[in-house]
Amino acid sequence: MRDQKEMTLYEHLMELRDRLKVVAIFYIASLLFWLVFPKNLSLGEIGAIISGEYVPMITLVLEHAASMSQGAVKIIPGTLTSPLEIYFIAAALMALITTIPVIGYEFYMYVDPALYPHERRLIWGFMGAFISLYAVGSIFSYFFVVPLVIRFMVIFARIIGIPPEQTFVTAGDYYMLVFSTVALMGLLFTFPAIFVLLVRFGLISTSLFTKNRLYAYGLLYILIAFITPDGWLVGNTMLFLPLVVLMEVAVLVAKRFEKAREVGAYSAPRCKFCGGEIPEGSVFCSKCGRSQE
């Protein structure tokens, strides 16, 4: 913990207000960027802005998401107001994604004064793993799972007698399938990082998971089936199998921490405040100087 004057409750609330204000300002700026900023800022595009005929940045995202169907389905508005709703919802979602780094930074800076060095290292490692796994899960879902699900759905549409030229889907349903699958897949991919963190804190053990592996994976599959938009076997399986692999890797990583504790890899006593070594025969930490009694 930093050597600094302890803040009052009022000072904590004021700091929280200031950090939330930064997040809100950045989110609004990001929202305006996706809603208004043209995708190609050139002289011609500036003229298009004046005339009202321009393409905002959010259109790039929606066009790319629509291309994931590879022409297998025809996307229609569904309702008169559907395009406007999708326009604002997609922009709000992209603004949130853009703001996530700022949210993480402001949150970390808010709690940083209360952290000890070993806690900072643990949190930084967890945050790195969490963000990396979320990105991998989102990318995997966007470029592999979503197109595969769409293809299989089109195949079954043909099986029940719907010709390709009549395979229509409303824009709301299509973009909900794409965005929710990507977001949820990203979150599910972070489960291994959370598992390792809980083991590292000693809240759970790897033996608890290994003894109940079948039940855990059964619940995981049910969770996937519940939260995925299509709820279909192929899509669920494509989400489930990579998570099984990641969880098994997480178990191996977590076992290393458990083994280190069991064999006494940290033979010297450790400070309960900062994680530093306690000299033999002493009750005071060599790093922070605090008494362990």
221-259, pLDDT tens digit by residue?
A: 888 877 665 556 766 787 788 889 999 999 998 888 888
Contacts 24+ apart (CB under 8 A), 37-44: none
User: In the predicted model, what is the mean pLDDT of residues 198-208?
Assistant: 85
Residue 17 binned pLDDT confidence (cut-offs 50, 70, 90): very high
- Report the C-alpha gap between 33 and 91 in whole angstroms: 9
pLDDT band, residue 28 (cuts 50/70/90): very high
Highest mean pLDDT, choosing among 187-196, 221-230, 236-245, 261-270: 187-196
Stated as kind and residue range, the H or E segment containing 254 is helix 233-262
Q: What is the pLDDT of residue 65?
A: 87
Least confident of 92-96, 121-125, 132-136: 121-125
Question: What is the average pLDDT across 149-172?
Answer: 79
Whether the per-residue pLDDT at 77 is higher than 60: the answer is: yes
Q: Tell which residue, 72, 190, 73, has the closest CA to residue 141.
A: 190
Q: Which of 88-92, 111-115, 145-149, 238-242 has the highest mean pLDDT?
A: 88-92
Stronger pLDDT, 292 or 146, i.e. the higher one: 146
The pLDDT of residue 276 is 66
* pLDDT for res 4: 54
Residue 195 and residue 143 in contact, taking contact as beta carbons nearer than 8 Å: no
Token duo for residue 22:
């930064």
Residue 55 DSSP class:
-
Residue 42 makes CB contacts below 8 A (sequence gap 6+) with: none
Residue 43 pLDDT: 46
Greater pLDDT, 57 or 274: 57
| Entry pTM | 0.72
Instruction: Using CB atoms within 10 Å of the CB of residue 182, give its burial: 0 to 12 exposed, 13 to 18 middle, 19+ buried.
Output: buried
Residue 17 to residue 11: CA distance in whole angstroms: 10
Which spans in 112-232 are helix H?
117-140, 146-159, 171-189, 191-200, 206-211, 213-227
Q: Please give the Cα distance from 156 to 162 (Å, whole number).
A: 9
Count how many residues are written for the chain: 293
**Listed ranges 156-160, 183-187, 265-269; the one with the highest mean pLDDT:** 183-187
pLDDT band at 105 (very low <50, low <70, confident <90, very high): confident
The predicted structure's pLDDT at residue 5: 61
Assign 56 to helix, strand or coil: strand
Reported confidence tier of residue 29, pLDDT bands at 50, 70, 90: very high
147 half-sphere exposure, CB direction, 13 A CA radius: 11
Q: Give me the mean pLDDT over the 61-79 stretch.
A: 83
Asked if residue 279 has pLDDT above 70, the reply is no
